[in-house]
Amino acid sequence: MEKRRLGKSDLYVTELGLGCMTLGTDALAAERIINAALEEGVNYFDTTDLYDFGVNESIVGRALKPVREQIIMATKVGNRWNNKQDGWSWDPSKAYIKEAVKDSLTRLGTDYIDLYQLHGGTLDDPIDETIEAFEDLVSEGLIKYYGISSIRPNVIREYASKSNISSVMMQYSILDRRPEEEALHVLRENDISVVARGPVAKGLLSDAGVNKITEKGFMDYSEEELRSLVKQLKNHFGDRSLTEVSLRYVLHNPTVASVVAGASSVEQVKNNANAVRSQPLSVEEVAFIKDVSKANVYDQHR
């Protein structure tokens, strides 16, 4: 599987990453999915301390321990569970980040984290303090690089200008083209990579996606618009699967280092891997997709 450089770092991530949120708490089932991803050549695994109260990190860490030096492990920080574990609060403080990283390292069973990401962020945060916390962790050798997970253009611009982030994780798909308007050029100019989540838009852009369409639609697409778009894509691309088209569309942009897709089965992992390894889209094919889909824009945090 092809790899791309993550920003200015020395990390080279596979074009497909495994998003670990959907692994669940059955360790054996999760391990089968993780092993399937490894067999397909995936080297980038993304989790967070928020998933299942940290259990996800523990499962991922144990499964990846035998190949720790061959893979890139990413996790996140900032959402703090309360004592009852029935809700969480946002805490981007330096004190909390430096406390939380130790817990993540323990659960992951590793001495360092390849990519440590702020799991959100607003302009009201103590951003300079937050950046200082990540820089300290780099200096201390507890993390190699850091990034943010955000779709807020104003926050992305702030970190792009002030910090040494390697990446921004953001939602990006044919149905959510918002990053194209306000984020991708800023990141490209600052040599910061995108880690794209939601590339198949909650399964709507998978081969069985038409069965997932409801009257609620998706973002600014109505049910009717979704059905029309899916039909146009399938007619235009013929034998190519919708998953192939969707993942290759996101990867067409060179600012994107990896598409992070979740998987709840081994078969899903294999399908995603085959999609990423498929023929890249031509300039004409990308133009067609842009013509029939919406050029969405962010309506907040601008």
Residue 51 annotated in active site: yes
How far apart, in whole angstroms, are the C-alpha atoms of residue 102 and residue 98?
A: 7
Q: Between 271 and 301, whose confidence is greater?
A: 271
Q: Is the pLDDT of residue 151 over 70?
A: yes
Per-residue CA distances from 238 to 142, 204, 231, 241, 264 (Å): 48, 18, 10, 8, 27
Q: Is the pLDDT of residue 82 over 80?
A: no
Q: How confident is the model at residue 24 (pLDDT cuts 50, 70, 90)?
A: confident
Give the tens place of pLDDT for each residue, 191-200: 999 999 999 9
Domain architecture of the chain: domains with CATH? 3-292 (3.20.20.100)
| Active-site residue, from 12, 44, 51, 116 | 51
Give the tens place of pLDDT for each residue, 127-144: 999 999 999 999 999 999
Q: What percent of the chain has pLDDT over 90?
A: 86
Q: Is the pLDDT of residue 116 over 80?
A: yes
pLDDT for res 280: 97
Length of the chain: 302
Give the tens place of pLDDT for each residue, 168-201: 999 999 999 999 988 999 999 999 999 999 999 9
Enter the pTM of the model.
Answer: 0.94
Give the tens place of pLDDT for each residue, 212-250: 999 999 999 999 999 999 999 999 999 999 999 999 999
pLDDT for res 88: 72
Q: How confident is the model at residue 51 (pLDDT cuts 50, 70, 90)?
A: low
SS (H, E, C) 20-65: HHHHCCCHHHHHHHHHHHHHCCCCEEECCCCHHHHHHHHHHHHHHH
Bridge partner residues of 170 (DSSP): 196
Q: Is the pLDDT of residue 210 over 70?
A: yes
Is residue 160 within 8 A of residue 190, CB to CB? The reply is: yes
